[in-house]
Amino acid sequence: MKKTALLLLLLIFSISLKAQKKQLFDGGMMIHTGYLIDNITALDYKASGMSFGLGGVLRFHIGNHVRLGGEGYVSTLPQKRNGGYVRMGWGGMVADFHWPIKRWAPYAGLCVGGGKTSTLLVFDGSDSDWEAEANAVVHKEPFFFVNPYLGVEFALTETVHLTLKADHLFPFKGKTVPKGVRVYFGFVFSH
C-alpha cells in the first residue's frame, strides 16, 4: 500500500512538472476549531465542547485547476480541567479543484482517510502533581472517514497565500466525531 501511494505521488509530481509552468505544488499549516462530542456510554459520560488543533496539507498541481495530495491534523478537547482530554488525529488523501480569479482562489475538495481518537479521563486527582491517579480511564479507537471541504485562498504574494477553509467530517466507524462544521485558517506556500 505504501509503495503504491509513493508511486502515485511520484506520477502526479512528474505529470505536474510537464503540464504546468507556474505552480507545481503547494503546502502549508492551518489552525482549526470545531465542536467535538463523545458519548461514552460505558461510563455514562458525555464529553463535548470546542476543540482546537493544528495540521497541514501538501498538494501537487495537475494542470490549472486540479490539486492532489495529502493532509493531516490533530484536534484536542480538554476535559474536567485536570489533564483529561479527547484528542483526534486524522489524515488522508485529498483531491480538490481551485479557480484562481486574480488574487483570490476559491476551492472545493474531498479528503478520504483514517485516524484515531484517544481519550483520557481523570475522574479524581490532578495533573499538577506526580501522584498516580486511582480513577482514570484511557481509551483509543480508530476511525475511517470521508471529509468534503470548501475554502478560499488569497495571494499575499506569488508564493505566499492565506487560506480559509471549512469542512464536515463523516466517519464510517467510530463514536467520537466532530459535530457540524470545522473552520481552518493558515498559510499556504506555493512553488
What is the pLDDT, as a whole number, of residue 19?
Answer: 46
Q: For residue 177, what are the β-bridge partners?
A: 37
Its CATH class, for the domain covering 2-190, is mainly beta
The model's pTM: 0.81
Minimal CA–CA distance to 28: which of 48, 2, 56? 56
What is the pLDDT, as a whole number, of residue 3?
Answer: 64
- Report the C-alpha dihedral over residues 117, 71, 53, 153, rounded to 10 degrees: -150
C-alpha cell at 27: 503546502
Q: Residue ranges of the chain with pLDDT lower than 50?
A: 16-20
Minimal CA–CA distance to 55: which of 82, 35, 28, 77? 28
